[in-house]
Amino acid sequence: MALPKDYGEQTCSLARSLEVLGERWTLLILRDAFYGVRRFSDFAEHLGIPRSVLAARLDGLVAEGLLSKVTRDDRGYAEYELTGKGRQLWPVIYGLICWGDEHYAPGGPPRLFEHAGDGGRVTSDGTCADCGGHVSPDDVQAVPGPGLNPAEDGDDVVTAALSRPRRLLGDIRGAAAGPR
């Protein structure tokens, strides 16, 4: 018997948030959206997620207003982009990344996050270690960390792009694309 997707009697904002974000794959899809993944096929290939599950998760994230589905007239296919509501999840996503790096990355973090403005390391609370300012996701650069092993992740477009420094939110297929 499948578990229900809601927490019915819970009067709790965390319970409501888990109804949207708590399904398997959802946080990884959002993480990849911050990395700049926009195409269905790139999500599917990088995550190794079944296409039917990916379609359901993307539809749910669009319905909740976390992603928007945009059809590019010049390219003829749909892309997914984080909305303002979706971008507000960066501190949550980044906090989980930092927590995982601390507790589950024995070789070190696979990616480090820098303030693009001055190159300072972004701390776990989202501030720049150099200037002390709050760093929004559109001003973060992901760089390969000591725990990165691209060979383990496969040879897809996303893995290749993440094996070199790049700004968050920029289209993963743009070599040096920044946020739009």
Topology of domain 13-85 in CATH is Arc Repressor Mutant, subunit A (1.10.10)
Q: Which of 163, 94, 166 is nearest to 135 (CA)?
A: 94
Q: Kindly give the confidence (pLDDT) of every residue in the chain, 180 residues in length, as a single tens digit, with 9 standing for 90 and above.
A: 665 677 777 889 998 999 999 999 999 999 999 999 999 999 999 999 999 999 999 999 999 999 999 987 676 788 999 999 999 999 999 999 999 999 999 999 999 999 999 999 999 999 999 999 999 999 999 999 999 986 665 678 999 999 999 999 999 987 434 443
d(CA 155, CA 59): 27
Q: Any idea where the domains of the chain sit in the sequence? A: 13-85, 90-167
Alpha-carbon distances of 42 from 8, 159, 167, rounded to whole Å: 35, 10, 18
